[in-house]
Amino acid sequence: MTRSVKIAPSILSADFARLAEEVRAVEKGGADLIHLDVMDGHFVPNLTMGPLVVRALRPHTALPLDVHLMIENPGRYVDAFADAGADYITVQAEACVHLHRVVQAIRARGVRAGVALNPATPLHALDEILPDLDLVLVMSVNPGFGGQSFIPGALDKLRRLRSRLEARGLTHVEVEVDGGVKLNNVREVHRAGGEILVSGSGIFRTPNPAETIRAMKAACAFEAVA
Ligand code: DX5
Ligand code: ZN
């Protein structure tokens, strides 16, 4: 079966002094979404950006803004990120005591709702809530920093997630992968079931980010007909 691939450059590895320019360049190169990593210094050790950056970028791209919240108690900020222009809001399962409520709050704002699983969090954490989701994000690194190595166990997790979704007739739920995704592994990640491939350093730390996106898509397209 052929499955589409979407590339979501993570601006965490972009030049923050030239963010709008960087985003326009990857959009021109064929990016499908812009991934924004929000970190609070509690859920993960790093501190990054908040709704202000989402709002500032909104007028500079027509692409969906894919907001990944690596923060404690993310339900508090759903409205702020929705107001800022997020098209997707993904929360970490580990950060939500009332995950169902948070997912409902995201959807009530007309925003696509995603849940991310850390490498150590089993898929069955989502068993009860899978039909309520628009997206599942499989973390292929421990979140917090760009530039880490892909954890190979994520491939089997992707395959198992894909077969669960198929078995339950939930193939409309998008499967996203985040961490250590680069040109040299996109084909394998896509083959395992990743549809939205997030890549930060693998795109922005290459000499020509637009060309890297085109090469990533070509590698996955070759896979689709193989
Ligand atoms: C990791 C973030 C990622 C990060 C990916 O905590 O969620 O989105 O930017 O960066 P790379 O692609 O460099 O691993
Ligand atoms: Zn991310």
**Cβ distance 88 to 120 under 8 Å?**
no
CA distances 6 to 13, 20, 126, 213, Å, are 18, 20, 23, 10
Is a pLDDT exceeding 70 seen at residue 223? Answer: no
- Judged by DSSP in three states, 109 sits in coil
User: Once rounded to an integer, what is the mean pLDDT over residues 102-130?
Assistant: 98
Question: Span 41-48, mean pLDDT?
Answer: 98
Say whether pLDDT at 49 is over 70: yes
Which residues are close to ligand 2, an ion, with C-beta < 5 A? 37, 68, 178
147 by DSSP, 3-state: which?
A: coil
Q: Look at residue 2 in the predicted model and tell me its pLDDT.
A: 60
Probe residue for ligand 1, chosen from 43, 53, 68, 178 as the CB with the greatest number of ligand atoms within 8 Å: 178
Average pLDDT of the chain to the nearest whole number: 97
**pLDDT score at 226:** 47
Task: Name the pTM for this structure.
Answer: 0.97
